[in-house]
Amino acid sequence: MNKNTKIYIAGHRGMVGSAVWRALTAAGYTNLIGKSSKELDLRNQQAVNAFFETEKPEAVIDAAARVGGILANNDFPYQFLMENLQIQNNLIDAAHKNEVNKFIFLGSSCIYPKLAPQPLKEEYLLTDSLEPTNQWYAIAKIAGVKACEAIRRQFGKDYVSLMPTNLYGPFDNFDLKTSHVLPAMIRKFHEAKQKGNEPVELWGSGTPMREFLHVDDLAQAILFAIENVLPEHLYNVGTGVDLTIKALAEQIQETVGHKGEIVWDSTKPDGTPRKLMNVDKMKEAGWEASTQLELGIKTTYEWFVDNIAEYKQVKL
């Protein structure tokens, strides 16, 4: 892989894709390709095939997906299943047909069974039932992992799946209806602080354990995978450290400076009790995360405040 290798980053305007673009640019890569959803609808197989035939990328990073939290997954199961299948299948198949030998597929820790042993190892995939609230997204991503594994096994191409834990950072989605837990908390505590430290209501009991990875760390893991030939098809990407949702809320509350009460609505679902990644395989390969959660939350909140006026997804 040289610095002029033509690399297509699907989803380059999203949180993950933009972080990958920044990381590759900083590392000296000069031939990056990105298309907005208006320029290229990744759900359209014919359009994706035409794009690959014209542009002929040498490597592909699939950071494009329909994503969201528990509420969004619960309300739009068909879209989360079908649109993710369409996006990834079109990209993987077009890459294979157009002789792309390097493909990085991104998924999520939700591909693992709801009650799998902790921390989650790659070999636990497909050993038990999924978490019902996000099974639609998970099933799509599992199909992508298996498609890449099949191409790797049958054709010997370097197609690798990276499964990050819960992500956060700049360009995150702060929409309360569709966001994940950490950015949603940042917005809720900020708004409550602005309104005289009103109480903040949060879903669930606060007892589930979660692991969080700064998106710039994931971008570095993807850069590592681009520049190295990894010996296996599936790798977890995380910190290997988790905390309770309650502890997360208290950390964000302190960072934001909110002085009011936290009210837990136990009638709302908690989701999976625990999702901690075993990241031994990536460490053995030569990569590990470096951003501490406290610093990551601080810089993410600062980014949120700085971009309230400009960033369309914030919409306070």
In a domain, 266, yes or no: no
What whole-number distance in Å separates Cα of residue 113 and Cα of residue 181?
20
Q: Is the pLDDT of residue 315 over 50?
A: no
Question: What are the catalytic residues?
Answer: 137
Which CATH number covers residue 141? Answer: 3.40.50.720
Instruction: Please report, in angstroms and rounded to a whole number, the separation of the first and last CA atoms in the chain.
Output: 43
Report the domain count for the chain: 1
In a domain, 150, yes or no: yes
Q: For residue range 188-225, what is the model confidence (pLDDT) as tens digits?
A: 999 999 999 999 999 999 999 999 999 999 999 999 99
Cα three-residue angle 161-121-65, rounded to 5 degrees: 35
In a domain, 188, yes or no: no
Per-residue pLDDT band at 280 (split at 50, 70, 90): very high
In this structure, what are the phi and psi dihedrals at residue 195, rounded to the nearest 5 degrees? -100, 30
Q: Is the pLDDT of residue 314 over 70?
A: no
Cite the beta strand spans of 142-228 per DSSP E: 158-164, 166-168, 200-203, 209-210, 212-214
In a domain, 285, yes or no: yes
In a domain, 250, yes or no: no
Q: Write out the binding residues for substrate.
A: 188, 203, 210, 270
In a domain, 177, yes or no: no
163: closest CA among 120, 129, 131? 120
pTM over 0.85: yes
Looking at residue 271, what is its pLDDT?
75
In a domain, 264, yes or no: no
Structural domain span for residue 31: 7-172+211-242+275-291
Mean pLDDT of the chain: 94
Q: Write out the binding residues for NADP(+).
A: 11-17, 106-109, 141, 164-167, 180
Per-residue pLDDT band at 311 (split at 50, 70, 90): low
More confident residue, 256 or 316: 256
- Quote the percentage of the chain above a pLDDT of 90: 85
In a domain, 199, yes or no: no
More confident residue, 64 or 75: 64
CA distances from 26 to 30, 32, 216, 223, 226 (A): 10, 12, 12, 11, 14
